[in-house]
Amino acid sequence: MSGLSRRHLLAGAAGLTAAAGLYGSADLVRSAAGAGQRREQALRIGYLPITDAAPLLIAHSAHLYPAGSVSSAKPVMFRSWSGLAEAFVSRQVDVAHLLMPMAIQLRQVLGANVRVLGWNHTNGSALTVAPDITELEQLIGTQVAIPFWWSIHNIVLQKLLRAHDITPVVRRTASRAKRTVELIVMSPSDMVPALANRSISGYVVADPFNAIAQIKKIGRIHVFLGDVWREHACCVLVTRDDVIAERPHAVQAVTDAVVAAQLRIGTDRPRAAEALTTGSYLPQPLPAVRTALAYPDPPYQFQRPDWSPQLVGFQPYPYPSFTRRLVEEMHETVVDGDRGFLDTLDPARAHSELVDDTFVLNSLAAQGGRHAFGLTGLDRTEQVHLL
């Protein structure tokens, strides 16, 4: 990391700067390059206020983190992915949930210092559109918001658009004649008001922002991404290699707590929603969080009921097949920024280079094995269905 330059970081992590959310870049690079920087004994957790973060937050609410492993203060809330990524890279937080493609990007750019410990959740995102839009073709010639360039949201949305002969574009005005849709990055909290004032025609993002749009009747859920890519990972539990090297027992304790919290959420989702809102972990109203975790309102007709779908699922094991397929899709995805890191990103090697499943396998064993989460094995075939 000593050779990391400001130019390299900003060019390689273009998604951060392009989202206009990364500030203090020179300080970020100095922090990222300082290998011997002193840290607090207890690990610090960062998150975005979305239901994807529920396991990290419920683990804190239910006092599942052992004393001394994690800071006793509440996890630190950030409003944008770029802000959370900056805090993670600059060592302001030690553990976070990050978008899986973002974690891949950061590792490629920053080298061997970003490590995925396991999945934080599956599914949990949707394409929400203006109330009068009922077909994807109605998005042609408009703007659609995504939370980050390197996100499962952007990847799946682009696959859906192309399946309908619609071309996603960036930094180009959308054209009805050319059947294009312009994609723009927007913080999740800004998406609902943007849809309300019709400056965008839709957005693809994690809940509870889809639920909020339906409850306020300013938008409708067009499709849950879990109906397109079965039980895909969106956010993953990440730390850094130096944290693992210096505090392996604390990393195991955090992973144990997150896995236990995932089981707890599955047992009583309405209670989890109440804990997230009354405990001020999430700023959204209880009805929206409860809808996102427990049931859609109005009821959503799943396109693939044979997939036994959930709005959002919670299981921690990181399937290698998903990482491989995700990297393949990243090579096909349009972004606003430097794509140079993709030149050396091999789908066959990406999982072993990024993921350390040692801790999550220990946690699964402690919770009764993979069967506690309904997992029949530790490999699978990815199922993608373009509607």
119 and 129, same domain (yes or no): no
259 and 272, same domain (yes or no): yes
Residue at 305 is within a domain: yes
Residue at 29 is within a domain: no
pLDDT above 90 for 242: yes
Nearest by Cα to 103 from 362, 341, 334:
341
At 271-315, the pLDDT tens digits run: 999 999 999 999 999 999 999 998 766 567 788 889 887 789 999
What's the sign of the alpha-carbon dihedral 195, 197, 198, 200?
A: negative
pLDDT of residue 1: 36
pLDDT of residue 297: 60
Element (H, E) at 76: strand 76-77
Q: Which residues contact 369 (CB under 8 A, 6 or more apart)?
A: none
pLDDT of residue 303: 86
**The domain boundary residue, chosen from 227, 243, 258:** 227
Tell me the mean pLDDT in the region 316-339: 96
State the Cα–Cα distance between residues 52 and 48, nearest whole angstrom.
8
Residue at 209 is within a domain: yes
Span of 67-76, 186-195, 243-252, 299-308 with lowest mean pLDDT: 299-308
Higher local confidence (pLDDT), 377 or 112: 377
State the Cα–Cα distance between residues 273 and 58, nearest whole angstrom.
9
214 and 159, same domain (yes or no): yes
**CB 116 within 8 Å of CB 103:** yes
Confidence class for position 110, pLDDT limits 50, 70, 90: confident
98 and 194, same domain (yes or no): no
361 and 244, same domain (yes or no): yes
**The domain boundary residue, chosen from 202, 227, 252:** 227
Confidence class for position 172, pLDDT limits 50, 70, 90: very high
**The domain boundary residue, chosen from 170, 197, 227:** 227
pLDDT above 50 for 224: yes
173 and 281, same domain (yes or no): no
180 and 91, same domain (yes or no): no
Residue at 102 is within a domain: yes
Residue at 74 is within a domain: yes
Residue range(s) defining the domain that contains residue 103? 45-123+231-373
At 347-386, the pLDDT tens digits run: 999 999 999 999 999 999 999 998 999 898 889 999 999 8
- What is the domain count for the chain? 2
119 and 156, same domain (yes or no): no
pLDDT of residue 296: 66
State the Cα–Cα distance between residues 194 and 84, nearest whole angstrom.
22
pLDDT of residue 130: 98
357 and 243, same domain (yes or no): yes
Residue at 11 is within a domain: no
Tell me the mean pLDDT in the region 147-154: 97
Beta strands in 100-156 (DSSP E): 115-119, 122-123, 125-129, 143-146
Residue at 66 is within a domain: yes
Confidence class for position 14, pLDDT limits 50, 70, 90: very low
Model's pTM, two decimal places? 0.90
Higher local confidence (pLDDT), 190 or 9: 190
CATH number of the domain at 192, please.
Answer: 3.40.190.10
236 and 349, same domain (yes or no): yes
Residue at 382 is within a domain: no
179 and 105, same domain (yes or no): no
Span of 1-15, 146-160, 338-352 with lowest mean pLDDT: 1-15
Tell me the mean pLDDT in the region 257-268: 96
101 and 238, same domain (yes or no): yes
Proportion of the chain above pLDDT 70, given as a percent: 88
pLDDT above 60 for 24: no
Span of 57-61, 126-130, 181-185, 307-311 with lowest mean pLDDT: 307-311
β-partners of residue 96 are: 46, 238
